[in-house]
Structure 1
Amino acid sequence: MKFKVPFCFSLLIVIKHVSPIEIWTKPYFSTLLPCSLSEEEINSSFLEVNWFHKGLGIAVIAGTNVIHIKEGFSVDQSAFSNGTFSLTVHNTTLSQQGEYTCSIAYNNSELYSSNITVIILAPPSLTSLSTMVVLHRENEIKCLAQGFTPPLIYFSWMKGGEEVRPPRPFTAVNHTSDGYFWAVSSLALTPTAEDKYINFSCVVNHAALQKPLAIELPLNFTQLPTVTLSTIPADSPSSPLTLSCDIEEFYPKEITVQWVQNGSILPDPPLVLPSPGGTFRTRHFRTLNKEERERSGEVQCVVWQPSVPEPISATVDLFITDTNEEGIVLTKSAKASVALMIISLVLVLLLCFGFSWRKRDEKQKSLSVSGIILPPRVIVGQKGRVTVSVEGRRVDRVQTTWFLNDKLISDTSQTVTEKGPLLPPGGEVGYYKLHTQRPLLSGNGSTQQLLSSLSFIPHLSIHKGAVFKCQVSYMGKDKVVVERVSDKFTLLAAPKVSDIQLTDPADSSGIVTLTAQASGFHPDIITFRWFCQGGELSPVAPPAPLSAPRPDAQGFFSAISQCKLPRTELERGETKVWVTVHHMALKQPITRETRGFIKRPHVSDIISYPAASSHSPKDPLIFGCEVTGFYPPDISVSWWRIIEEQDEEEIEECGDIWGPLLTHPSTYRATATLRVESSEKREREKTRIACRVMHCSLQEPIERQWQNSHSDAPSIPSSLSVQWKKWGIGVFSLTLLGGHPKAKLLWAAGGATLSPLVSTESQVEGEDGTRELKSVCTIQRSSGRGGQTDRYINSQRNRHTHLTEEAVTNCGIDGIEIVDEKDDGEIKMEQKRPGTPAVKRRREGEDEESEDEKKRGKESDIPMTNTVNVRREDKGGSESLRVSVEITHPALALPIYRTWTEPQEES
């Protein structure tokens, strides 16, 4: 056994090193490691091949014999004769990844060496670890990625669809028991009340993932309480002492309260009540008996909350409390002085009471007004709401007025609907609806709370860069008590993303441009990321006018992104390409994908019509359906007969397929027809016909079943008329009888696929008054390696004349017969119809043509000649020429086709 290696023995001592190769695979998949040698011929019995994994031998091959190979590996001995010694790793595990070496020696001299690194790809899974946070304190939320390899992974964090931390590379060093990696990523944040309505997401990117993996982390909020500890004065230091512990503004409701004296816990049942702002409050009392008061020291009120490691506490020193109580014991003279002072104060208050009476209402009118609360996300076209909270004693007499910038806002909800136009011609400024909630008692019961809200639908031209103002005043008063102005808000509009468009290469490079377009978004910051099976693609810069987002007349932006790939990758239909579009208006990125130029066919319903224009019950039926919009052009059609919904059988006559015809760049269409004889037609009420179309883009065939229909059609000849002139020019014609309005004809020619041709039509009135539509198409086969038609005509010029009886391939149509041959080499052909007498030939002695011959010659002089090339370079030859015409008419349910096929050369 021999194969090719360098012939000169002096060159055999030179080792051929191959660049290291990386092979990526999945766990428990079989992996092929290539190793081949292609040089001059030598004797294979002097060859020795060794495979190593991390320096340890796993396979030894001597000549054509496998001397040793470890379990879990195999080689293909049938490929040794071609110099191929590839190694297959079965059920690849983590222990089998790493560097492999293939070494080939000839006559004990190393001839070839290659290093291959096997890397296993396992995608991660995500789990949330910590989502409990405390308001207004720094917290950490964590997510866990586990079960992945290799260890390099990228973590990023999203807040409300916006990226708050970009992807960062992280190399995991933690292993699980099975050898896979895990890693934890955390995000530090100080949450506010607005974060209660915003979603946080942890996103990871890994080499084993086709697209980023994300998990949402809904936050569980905790609000720390305010703890106040006070004492209720006792009659004497020896009497029991009551302590009051006030715990306010905490969330959630569940808390644990402990009384601690000198480190010892004193039990006490809790009492929890609601508090303003959605929080809770409670008050705990503790009465110390005489013995407990004598212990003295510090008394603490300690509050524990779930998931909060440190408690909140308040402390009172009993020693200081007792001292203060002793210090306030008054003598009789001191008590008299105090009483006199109190009487004086009462008199002063009575004198001032009359002056303060008028201002009493004003004191009750003191208000506490919050800032304007904006929605967390303002989406164009989606209803939003802004709110102001007003607290005070007399909020029932308060009124609020809203402004957009400095323009007064009125309630337009009765004249402008949510789904209607936001800018009617009446001068309104859009959709607004005012809401005022009736006053509610606040937490302490002495004040009331009023909520004033404004619902609106954001519009870019109205609200871009605008602010809301709310003025608070009393009813019947012009004076504005308080004015609040909102922050500027960012209007968000999600992009509309088109499908990926593929553009044919403009030169011979074979590089295809893939384009994705996003439109109708705001603001103008947008990101496109392209991916292909195997990794992320680098986008290319689009043309200068399209390189940056462009605003339209309404202020919305549009942008495009492009990348390039070889056409050969996309034509196979196996390479998946997708693009993700990221924008702050999106909670999740939008994805569009394509598998290249491969396009799925669309199949019309089956329509039947009589095969002849006589409409006799004995006439056969023609069934047909159109297949459009597919690529590549290879397509198959089968016809089936279904009987009473139970049995089905494939019809042996598979019918005909007209086409495929190139209609658009990389798009074809075809028509499938089936001829059914009258005997089958009589049974059609209990028999149904099905057409099944199969294409490489389909996992299962597309099926259409026949629906009974009937329509009239013009009289159409059963075949084409053909005339051949000098230099291989063919004049094809077809004459239609009757029919109104005028029929449409489309000529096409080619080999395996067809291309449209240019033709001319003329309409005349026949001898019997019937209108005749004559269509003529002239073609010339392009120069080069002559086809069968060229050789056929050359044989006529060399006086080797012979007849062709079956030149047309359609079933049941007679062929073309040579009826005239001129001295100058011109050959004339005419369609021979069944039942017509043979056309008279002009003998060699006749010099003048008849009037009919002159007329036919004049009609065949067509000014436009179509050049057709059916040569196929990949096969080194040429195909048979096909010329076909498609006839469409309003009276026809489906187009009718007449086809002429180039006769095969006789040996």
Structure 2
Amino acid sequence: MKFKVLSYLWLLGLIKAGSSVDVSVSPGSSTVLNCSFALPALVDNSLLNITWSSGGSIIASKNHTQAGFFLNSTAFPSFPLTVFNATPHQQGVYECRVSYNDTDYATEVTLTILAPPVVSIISPEAVLKRKSVVECWARSFSPPQIMFTWTRGGNKIQEPQKLQVNRTEDGLYDAVSFLTFIPQISNQNISFGCEVQHSALVKPVLEEFTPHITVLPKVTLSVVPSSSHSSSVTLSCDISGFYPNNISVLWIHNGKKLSELPLSIQNEDGTYRRHQYHTLTREERSRGGEVQCVALQPSGQEPANGTIDLSTVDLRVQNPGLNKSAKASVAMMIISLTLVFLLCFGFSWKRRDEKLKSLNISAIVLPPRVVVGKKGRVTISVEGRLAERVQTTWFLNDIPIKDTSHKEKKYGAFRSASYTSRNSSVSVLSEKNPLLPSSASGYYKLHTQMPLRSSSNSSKQLFSSVTFIPSLAVHKGSVFKCQVSYKGKDKIVAERVSEKFTILAPPEVSEIQFSEPNEEGGVVTMTAHASHFHPDIITFRWFCEGGELSPVSIPQALAAPRPDAEGFFSAMSQCRLPKAELERGETRVWVTIHHTALKQPITRQTRADRSGTRCGLLLL
């Protein structure tokens, strides 16, 4: 008996506690946690008691295992615990404990959920020379370590920040970073960016925005002289120096709102001015009090206003008897007023003509996704009273675009540029500019929608667009440009340039290819190739019935996406399994390829005669 006790003590002395291990997995994937004990072959497995626990509660043992886990207590000596469909709530420290003859030995495994953040920017309306705060949010990520960096025009303006994050109910994390700046007029077309770095991202995510700056108006209120205190009075409200031109004007008399139709004129510096009149009736003037002209902007900022007190206004004109000298002066004044009237009439006629010719031209609208080989469309709208006299000229970069579809066919409300109705005075493509040669590669079809009457007054709205088939060699880094002018006129009324767009090309994925087994362990290498894709970010993920497999580490020159002569990329990924598993046909292996040009991942898989065979222990 004494000899048996000494033997047990000797065997227990051979059990060594393992070190802590970190395991990372994506949400919804399965993984395997292993004990790290060094046990000799002479230990009696039937005398060992194995338990896995987390957060103080037992997850699995020889007698019971919680749902979502699987303990292989016969797999000596790793005793693996399989976690199925891992959730953020399951991440943390797991303890593997072995009891032998009332003596415990433990090792720890840290399970981390890798979830990339979803980045978004909340940009308020920015007011010129007033403090503005922009929020950059990163949501639903794990682990909680994350960094934010702010940029202006591509240059770093704020060093990377390590922020305290908040844990959400679903077990993931949220964080926010703030950028405070005082907008200047030079910031109008400058791009700001928020760059987020996280361990679950292949590369940092950059979210950009361009501030839309509001310039508050200056309001001056004055009175137009009248001949009698009892007659009506006309007030003049001058509003200047504001931006953009979406201001509304209110007339308020003793707190009561008066109605008036606005009209704005654009200044040379891009801001707007508005000179507006309002005539008070005899009864309104007799009530006295204050009259306000209030300018409101959609940004919700404090309105600008001008105020005048009617009690201080006395514009009555005395009319005593006139002598000859006074009558001559009056005659000269009448002549002068007549000349002034004629000048004002000519000026008002000119302003009316300018008003008729004023156009409201939108920015160029790009398609949300531009995919190689699939049609896309860019559109611009023109609104004004003379919209039917407008012609548009389209360019790719600085090269005029010619309709290369060679089809005179109607498309619903749109018509080909090569077809022009005899009753239409709209020219979609200016013939005064050089066209693309007929041998030029690519597909371009020009459209115009006949002017439609707008809901406001007698304005009309015209739509012009270009349908094209994207080509990586032609359209990568390109921009569309549209020039708007009146038919028969050389002067360009306006020009709009689109933003640069990213060309997408989905990958072409090969079937899984097998290598000859190596001589040492009979291991087969499986290879998947992806080619002809753009941009270069692509992800391979290998799976079997037991969970996710780890890909083989291959040289960077082969693993990294490589561009070909046309600018498309190709890449490869490899995974290994024992030949015996594949020959029996019991192990089904599949690989998923993720790319931004794909709405759903592409899957390639091997076949197995019987389903349900798990390969969670075959991770290489």
TM-score (norm 2): 0.54
Q: Is the 8 A contact 2:145 2:198 kept in 1?
A: no
SS in structure 1 at match of 2:301: coil
Q: Is the 8 A contact 1:435 1:452 kept in 2?
A: yes
Q: Which amino acid aligns with 1:311?
A: E
Q: Is the 8 A contact 2:164 2:175 kept in 1?
A: yes
Partner of 2:570: 560
Partner of 2:40: 39
Q: Is the 8 A contact 1:132 1:222 kept in 2?
A: no
SS in structure 1 at match of 2:335: helix
Q: C-alpha displacement at 1:561, in angstroms?
A: 1.2
Q: Is the 8 A contact 1:542 1:560 kept in 2?
A: no
* Partner Cα distance (2:350, 2:249) in 1: 43
SS in structure 2 at match of 1:340: helix
- Cα gap change, 1:369 to 1:408, in 2 (>3 Å): farther
Q: Is the 8 A contact 2:366 2:379 kept in 1?
A: no
- Cα gap change, 1:443 to 1:256, in 2 (>3 Å): closer
2:511 corresponds to 1:495 = no
Q: Which amino acid aligns with 1:482?
A: I
Partner of 1:455: 466
SS in structure 2 at match of 1:501: coil
Q: C-alpha displacement at 1:76, in angstroms?
A: 3.2
SS in structure 1 at match of 2:448: strand
Which of 593, 598, 617 is residue 579 of structure 1 equivalent to?
Answer: 593
2:369 corresponds to 1:376 = no
Q: Which amino acid aligns with 2:303?
A: I
* Partner Cα distance (2:376, 2:76) in 1: 72
Partner of 2:257: 268
Q: Is the 8 A contact 1:302 1:311 kept in 2?
A: no
Q: Is the 8 A contact 1:439 1:450 kept in 2?
A: yes
Partner of 1:19: 19
Q: Is the 8 A contact 1:225 1:250 kept in 2?
A: no
Which of 696, 699, 714 is residue 611 of structure 2 equivalent to?
Answer: 696
Q: C-alpha displacement at 1:527, in angstroms?
A: 1.2
* Partner Cα distance (1:593, 1:169) in 2: 38
Q: C-alpha displacement at 1:116, in angstroms?
A: 0.9
SS in structure 1 at match of 2:332: helix
* Partner Cα distance (2:3, 2:161) in 1: 48
SS in structure 2 at match of 1:376: coil
Partner of 2:448: 435
Q: Which amino acid aligns with 1:514?
A: T
Q: Is the 8 A contact 1:6 1:40 kept in 2?
A: no
Q: C-alpha displacement at 1:95, in angstroms?
A: 11
SS in structure 2 at match of 1:512: strand
Percent identical pairs in the alignment equals: 18
- Cα gap change, 1:316 to 1:388, in 2 (>3 Å): same
Q: Is the 8 A contact 1:104 1:113 kept in 2?
A: yes
- Cα gap change, 1:544 to 1:326, in 2 (>3 Å): same
Gaps of 5+ in 2: 65-71, 151-159, 184-192, 266-273, 419-436, 614-620
Partner of 1:512: 525
Q: Is the 8 A contact 2:296 2:304 kept in 1?
A: yes
Larger Rg: 1
* Partner Cα distance (1:463, 1:88) in 2: 52
* Partner Cα distance (1:381, 1:43) in 2: 67
* Partner Cα distance (1:484, 1:304) in 2: 25
Q: Is the 8 A contact 1:395 1:449 kept in 2?
A: yes
* Partner Cα distance (2:589, 2:405) in 1: 54
Which of 332, 335, 339 is residue 340 of structure 1 equivalent to?
Answer: 332
Q: Which amino acid aligns with 1:579?
A: I
Q: Is the 8 A contact 1:154 1:170 kept in 2?
A: yes
Q: Which amino acid aligns with 1:549?
A: P
SS in structure 1 at match of 2:595: strand
* Partner Cα distance (1:85, 1:567) in 2: 19
Q: Which amino acid aligns with 1:550?
A: D
- Cα gap change, 1:300 to 1:402, in 2 (>3 Å): closer
Which of 300, 307, 330 is residue 316 of structure 1 equivalent to?
Answer: 307
Over the aligned positions, Cα root-mean-square deviation in angstroms equals 7.3
Q: C-alpha displacement at 1:366, in angstroms?
A: 9.6
SS in structure 2 at match of 1:343: helix
- Cα gap change, 1:327 to 1:105, in 2 (>3 Å): farther
Q: Which amino acid aligns with 2:536?
A: I
Q: C-alpha displacement at 1:376, in angstroms?
A: 1.8
Structure number with greater CO (CA < 8 Å, separation at least 6) is: 2
Deviations 1:306-337 (A, max 9, x none): xx553332233549x947x6699899788974
SS in structure 2 at match of 1:18: coil
Greater displacement, 481-490 / 78-87? 78-87
Q: Is the 8 A contact 1:369 1:482 kept in 2?
A: no
Q: C-alpha displacement at 1:369, in angstroms?
A: 7.0
* Partner Cα distance (2:53, 2:404) in 1: 82
Deviations 1:454-497 (A, max 9, x none): 5343464777768657474654xxx6233866648757653232
* Partner Cα distance (2:279, 2:340) in 1: 40
Q: How many residue pairs align between the two structures?
A: 519
- Give runs of aligned pairs for residues 179-198 of structure 1, distance below 5 A: 181-184=173-176
* Partner Cα distance (1:337, 1:431) in 2: 71
Partner of 2:294: 301
* Partner Cα distance (2:337, 2:15) in 1: 113
Partner of 2:144: 151
- Cα gap change, 1:120 to 1:310, in 2 (>3 Å): same
Deviations 1:698-717 (A, max 9, x none): 9xxxxxxxxxxxxxxxxxxx
Partner of 2:427: none
Q: Which amino acid aligns with 1:343?
A: I
* Partner Cα distance (2:232, 2:352) in 1: 44
Q: C-alpha displacement at 1:566, in angstroms?
A: 1.4
Partner of 1:64: none
SS in structure 1 at match of 2:39: coil
Q: Is the 8 A contact 1:244 1:285 kept in 2?
A: yes
Q: Is the 8 A contact 1:542 1:561 kept in 2?
A: no
Deviations 1:861-890 (A, max 9, x none): xxxxxxxxxxxxxxxxxxxxxxxxxxxxxx
TM-score (norm 1): 0.40
SS in structure 2 at match of 1:496: coil
- Give runs of aligned pairs for residues 133-532 of structure 1, distance below 5 A: 140=134, 145=139, 150-152=143-145, 173-175=165-167, 181-184=173-176, 230-231=221-222, 233=224, 235=226, 266-268=255-257, 293=289, 299=292, 301=294, 303=296, 310-316=301-307, 318=309, 322=312, 337=329, 340-344=332-336, 346=338, 373-377=363-367, 381-385=374-378, 387=380, 389=382, 409=402, 414-415=407-408, 430-435=443-448, 437-438=450-451, 451=462, 453-458=464-469, 460=471, 470=483, 472=485, 474-475=487-488, 480-482=490-492, 487=497, 493-506=503-516, 508=518, 510=523, 512-519=525-532, 525-532=535-542
Q: C-alpha displacement at 1:507, in angstroms?
A: 5.5
- Give runs of aligned pairs for residues 64-143 of structure 1, distance below 5 A: 75-76=61-62, 97-98=92-93, 100=95, 102=97, 113-117=105-109, 119=111, 121=113, 140=134
Q: C-alpha displacement at 1:592, in angstroms?
A: 1.8
* Partner Cα distance (1:32, 1:538) in 2: 20
Q: C-alpha displacement at 1:549, in angstroms?
A: 1.7
Q: C-alpha displacement at 1:343, in angstroms?
A: 0.3
Q: Which amino acid aligns with 2:257?
A: D
Q: Which amino acid aligns with 1:376?
A: L
Q: C-alpha displacement at 1:531, in angstroms?
A: 3.1
SS in structure 2 at match of 1:579: strand
- Cα gap change, 1:258 to 1:20, in 2 (>3 Å): farther
- Give runs of aligned pairs for residues 709-724 of structure 1, distance below 5 A: none
Q: Which amino acid aligns with 1:268?
A: K
Q: Is the 8 A contact 2:50 2:96 kept in 1?
A: no
- Cα gap change, 1:257 to 1:139, in 2 (>3 Å): farther
* Partner Cα distance (1:367, 1:245) in 2: 25
